[in-house]
Structure 1
Amino acid sequence: MSRSNIYLSKIKLEKKIIKTSLGSDLKNKELFYLCKRLSFVNRQINVLLQKSQNEFKYK
């Protein structure tokens, strides 16, 4: 997965979560879950980016 694809996926995911949270009447518990989920996905994306940077350095 290219770096630009990872960034685009991240932006799409963030937009989707923001639309979901703004478009419905969420309770604090649901917002808390969404934030935790987004931070988890964000960490995964950062790990993928780091791996791709490391692979690029060694080529």
Structure 2
Amino acid sequence: MANKSSGAGGGAVYGIGFVGAAVYYFQQADTFWMFVLAIPKAIIWPGIVVFELLKSFYG
């Protein structure tokens, strides 16, 4: 029987990155629209970091 919980570590790391980015962007927000944009930025930020790291390793 296959181990179905083997990919759970990546979700935890992404979650920690999301929370950290959300806190950072909320602290930097000055206007209402910056607060609104903080959530999408926090969702996208970990993916951009991974992309840039992989690009520097293989590029």
TM-score, normalization: structure 2? 0.42
TM-score, normalization: structure 1? 0.42
Structure richer in helix, relative to its length:
1
Higher relative contact order (CA 8 A, sep 6+): 1
